[in-house]
A and B are shown apart, each in its own frame.
Chain A
Amino acid sequence: MELIYGLVTGILFGFLMQKAQVIRYDKQVGAMRLVDFTIFKFMLSAIIVGMIGIYFLKDFGIVSLDVKSTSLGANIIGGLMFGIGWALAGYCPGTAAGALGEGRWDALIVILGMMAGAALYAEAYPAMKSSILTWGNYGKITLSSILGWNHWVVIVVLSIIYVGLFYLFEKKNV
């Protein structure tokens, strides 16, 4: 059953990403070059609905949300590497799959590269486990816990900022 849920959810998400055109190299590299904001529009819209929905369900105790630990060493170094790799590949792990679905063959090469990167990470993991991955470990923090604000205040503030960005995107027609 779990597998069927995964397949159906993936089909819906892949369908939506293709319709929004966010799985294209030109849109992703365009976002990084700040010339095309389609991806920002898609992601920030998903985040607004997602954060309101998930926290609503969580407050009623219907779903659980397990935040990952913040480790500055791992997050900063890993994040920089991810950005460089994403810019070179033009696809992220999820969009590479979607891009392959709409016929972009270079995405298949990216997928093979990502599998090689995963195998390489498995080799490097023992050496990093007690070094980089532990640097600047802050545990499971959130914006709400750092600022000491109720999570709904954070959600409202972020939503206002995102909608403000949407207004700018449309005004500048990007």
Chain B
Amino acid sequence: MNVLIRKTWSPYLAGAVAGLVLCLSVLIAGKYFGASTTYVRSAGLLEKVVASKHVAKSSYFMRTKLKVDWQMLFVVGVILGSFASAQMSRDFTAVAIPSMWKRRFGTNKAKRFLVAFLGGVIALFGARMAGG
């Protein structure tokens, strides 16, 4: 069990096991890994609370089908799995600003959060366009 509390695994080994987990997932559940559709579903489900008529008219939200599905639980699982791994190796640290960012741009949280938000908007818009 001591391997589970180690802080790092070889990225080659962890990657190869991740490839194996993918094969098993396709074999057992028929599901390939993905995350970006979950952002569409959760945005649509939230938007439905404030503007349900607008969402019902949206061709994109309608073709995506707004429901809790395999992938949404997969993304929740990624959060939990990462949390469990970090806890077991005592690697969990609440930090707001990554160290590489800090060295280059300083410790201003508002600055980091603004760029983080804008980056998220652009990345997901691009991902959906490109079919991811």
> In the complex, are the beta carbons of B81 and A86 less than 8 A apart?
no
Please, which residues of chain A bring their CB within 8 A of the CB of B101?
Answer: 25, 29, 90
> In the complex, are the beta carbons of A19 and B9 less than 8 A apart?
yes
Flag whether B56 is at the interface (Cβ < 8 A): no
Flag whether B79 is at the interface (Cβ < 8 A): yes
> In the complex, are the beta carbons of A118 and B39 less than 8 A apart?
yes
Flag whether A83 is at the interface (Cβ < 8 A): yes
Flag whether A74 is at the interface (Cβ < 8 A): yes
Within 8 A of A (CB), among B49-75: 58-61, 68-75
Please, which residues of chain B bring their CB within 8 A of the CB of A69?
Answer: 131
- Give the CA-CA distance A82 to B82 in the complex, in Å: 24
Within 8 A of B (CB), among A43-71: 43-50, 53-54, 57, 62-64, 68-69, 71
Closest Cβ neighbor of A15 among chain B residues: B81
Please, which residues of chain B bring their CB within 8 A of the CB of A2?
Answer: 29, 31, 69-70
Q: How many B residues, CB 8 Å from partner?
A: 90
- Give the CA-CA distance A17 to B9 in the complex, in Å: 9
> In the complex, are the beta carbons of A13 and B33 less than 8 A apart?
yes
> In the complex, are the beta carbons of A7 and B77 less than 8 A apart?
yes
> In the complex, are the beta carbons of B17 and A16 less than 8 A apart?
yes
Closest Cβ neighbor of B72 among chain A residues: A6
> In the complex, are the beta carbons of B122 and A85 less than 8 A apart?
yes
> In the complex, are the beta carbons of A5 and B28 less than 8 A apart?
yes
From A11, A38, A81, give the contact of B84 (CB < 8 A): A11
From B69, B95, B122, B128, give the contact of A104 (CB < 8 A): B95
Please, which residues of chain B bring their CB within 8 A of the CB of A44?
Answer: 15
List residues of A whose CB falls within 8 A of some B CB. Answer: 2-26, 29-30, 38-39, 41-50, 53-54, 57, 62-64, 68-69, 71, 74-75, 77-90, 92-94, 96-107, 109-126, 128-129, 132-133, 166
Q: List 7 A-B contacts (CB under 8 A).
A: A14-B81, A48-B16, A53-B19, A88-B123, A101-B82, A112-B117, A118-B39
